[in-house]
Structure 1
């Protein structure tokens, strides 16, 4: 949380009468955890009066929904997007969006996931550590002598983008374009974008499609050792390869998810250490705590606030009736502060024993494919920053850090840091 003013606004938002609470409230978006606590205590299953979906806020209730894929489908596009907007890209000459990965249900889901599993396996990610370290230190080298950086633009955006671009087999020189493509998807799912922003995102999505259709055509002729080639060669349940719309939908999710979660988690982790100097001292004194630091960052203020499901039939969650066709918002970030699962949940504690049981990466069949890679990127970064950037602090003269507007993702717009370069 960015400061006393933001904290007070977040607290005030949670003090409204229950029927006025909405995740769309800008003060809740900026500082949501007081509202989450209110919902867990007063209405664990609550219909948002503005957004229209049912918010599920407690850990155990969310786990039950995640496990019941027959009743609670991940194919939410038709229910979530306003009429006429789901395939708006087609209006601008693009391909239709199809359910894939996080929006696909069993059994089809596994056919999208299987070709990618090997790239993000624990063994493969472990082998990638020297490569990740090289990228990390090269980026830090660019600003270390200055004693100052805008960490989001100079590190947390380019670092994971470079890595996912390399894994996809596309050139790093196109990183600015990839960031625009990623921003288009996050705008579409933000839940707060206006019509003009949604149209921009749809047009940018068509640019994404045209770019990657060319890449797909090239790799059909000249296959290489990368994710895109693996996806081209994959077989679906009918023995046929993925269609172009399927390939594009998978790649869109991979590109965005492959950078946004890490970007948001790393910048938030550094801010949390600055805001909690006792925890900063603990990890500086013992760098073996870095891995649990990563888990506690993901638990305490994760990069994904929640994802949606749609009820395939009349159902019930924690005694609350859920009509068929209803959209359910699983609020992972609230579950990660659930006192029943995480005692003392409002404290940022890098020695927390069960921190790794957080839901920041989801659970079940939709557990984040890139979780191992994201964790490795965070671990490598935290070690490098703590070793090379001493006396880490917020740079004076800049506004307090604030978050991008979204009810799904949670990331800092900017993070201005000052530090003393290590000798």
Structure 2
């Protein structure tokens, strides 16, 4: 196995894409600090993510936590498939077309507030006033939780992610990390359990849906609900922020998309590829396996680099270039691959497209604020702006 000195957890490394390219040119997998295997070529990443019987989505000890305390991505097959069916059955009620009217109303209100918060010169920190709030509101709507807690959702999500990054807490159930967050979701679950006529929302459906005569326990509903809130907040917030940054850094691109709204989906997909909001997926190998010629042993910790795979020169022409004319714009692995692909991808796409369309409707021109310096999200596996100061000219 080839050893590399690159630190894949360094979210502020301006050289990582160059390093990824060099690594791809040498081998599909490299050993990095800590002994993890860093997978860099798209073929190898796809093979690994599709080999769901050979990997579990966790860096914790395999099988240490009870199933009801384990987020869906970390439950091994074949149980993962059954739990995912329950989850998908509940999520299916919230098809994008059903949630979209709410998202459009909410985004319109948030862009009004964003413009109102701008200085006389039109400068505003758009992550706080716009990009950060939309995912929290959508998750609250889907789960059936009052939207007066959306600021708490964003705060709780950030705090849990910081705690999860501590090495000595990697095996802890998600609900044990944040008592305030856990208590609130437990109250929401209990309210539905006690009600003779519970609301028709996702928490209720997670409690009631059956697959092969089996239901989720209340503890499992707690775990999966908290995971949905955290994952939906973090990844979609980063995606919206990355798209806005791509538009603001090139005012001519903003005008191009504003004049041709059919480019919005391609804009979102190209941002997913070039600025993957989830940079890597951690897996633990559950049995000896070969991926793209690389021998991986049971117990090995594996990092599938979505960021590297999405810039693989063997797959894309001009992979480092941001292009709105790229053929097959959805041909990327930003949401993963195979049976465990992100179940909320349709929501993330819809939220981001609506956020962009609302911005285009209400803002005639947008540019980065003078002196703005890239301020990245500190979460090691994510990519997105923590803050993003822009100049807005109302339409």
CA pair 79-20 structure 1, distance change in 2 beyond 3 A: farther
Q: Answer yes or no: is the 8 Å Cα contact 1:265–1:297 preserved in 2.
A: yes
Q: Answer yes or no: is the 8 Å Cα contact 2:240–2:355 preserved in 1.
A: yes
In 1: Cα distance, 2:161 partner to 2:360 partner: 30
Match in the other structure for 1:20: 5
Match in the other structure for 1:282: 256
In 2: Cα distance, 1:299 partner to 1:78 partner: 31
| More divergent stretch after superposition (160-169 vs 121-130) | 121-130
Structure 2: gaps spanning 5 or more residues: none
Matched, 1:151 2:126: yes
Q: Report how far residue 118 of structure 1 moved.
A: 5.0
Within 5 Å, which residues of 2 pair with 1:110-121?
110-117=81-88, 120-121=91-92
Q: Report how far residue 236 of structure 1 moved.
A: 5.9
Deviations 1:145-172 (A, max 9, x none): 4333211111111111011111111111
TM-score (norm 2): 0.89
Indicate the SS of the match to 1:128. Answer: helix
Within 5 Å, which residues of 2 pair with 1:158-197?
158-190=133-165, 193=166
In 1: Cα distance, 2:182 partner to 2:220 partner: 11
Matched, 1:126 2:97: yes
Select 1:356's aligned residue among 318, 324, 330.
Answer: 330
Within 5 Å, which residues of 2 pair with 1:24-103?
24-25=9-10, 27-28=12-13, 32-49=16-33, 51-78=34-61, 98-103=69-74
Q: Answer yes or no: is the 8 Å Cα contact 2:239–2:384 preserved in 1.
A: yes
Indicate the SS of the match to 1:418. Answer: strand
| More divergent stretch after superposition (179-188 vs 158-167) | 179-188
Matched, 1:416 2:389: yes
Q: Report how far residue 246 of structure 1 moved.
A: 1.4
CA RMSD of aligned residues (A): 2.8
Structure 1: gaps spanning 5 or more residues: 1-16, 81-85, 88-94
Indicate the SS of the match to 1:218. Answer: helix
Indicate the SS of the match to 2:69. Answer: coil
Q: Answer yes or no: is the 8 Å Cα contact 1:268–1:412 preserved in 2.
A: yes
CA pair 115-203 structure 1, distance change in 2 beyond 3 A: closer
In 2: Cα distance, 1:235 partner to 1:188 partner: 33
In 1: Cα distance, 2:171 partner to 2:215 partner: 31
Deviations 1:126-185 (A, max 9, x none): 233222111010001113243332111111111110111111111111222212321133
In 1: Cα distance, 2:315 partner to 2:168 partner: 40
In 1: Cα distance, 2:188 partner to 2:276 partner: 33
Q: Answer yes or no: is the 8 Å Cα contact 1:121–1:372 preserved in 2.
A: no
Deviations 1:301-322 (A, max 9, x none): 0110111221122222333322
Select 2:199's aligned residue among 220, 224, 228.
Answer: 224
Within 5 Å, which residues of 2 pair with 1:219-368?
219-222=192-195, 223-235=198-210, 239-368=213-342
Q: Report how far residue 407 of structure 1 moved.
A: 2.6
Matched, 1:140 2:125: no
Indicate the SS of the match to 2:330. Answer: helix
Q: Report how far residue 197 of structure 1 moved.
A: 12
| More divergent stretch after superposition (71-80 vs 128-137) | 71-80
CA pair 202-404 structure 1, distance change in 2 beyond 3 A: farther
In 2: Cα distance, 1:174 partner to 1:292 partner: 33
Q: Report how far residue 123 of structure 1 moved.
A: 8.3
Q: Answer yes or no: is the 8 Å Cα contact 1:122–1:372 preserved in 2.
A: no
Q: Answer yes or no: is the 8 Å Cα contact 2:136–2:150 preserved in 1.
A: yes
Indicate the SS of the match to 1:135. Answer: helix
What is the aligned residue count? 387
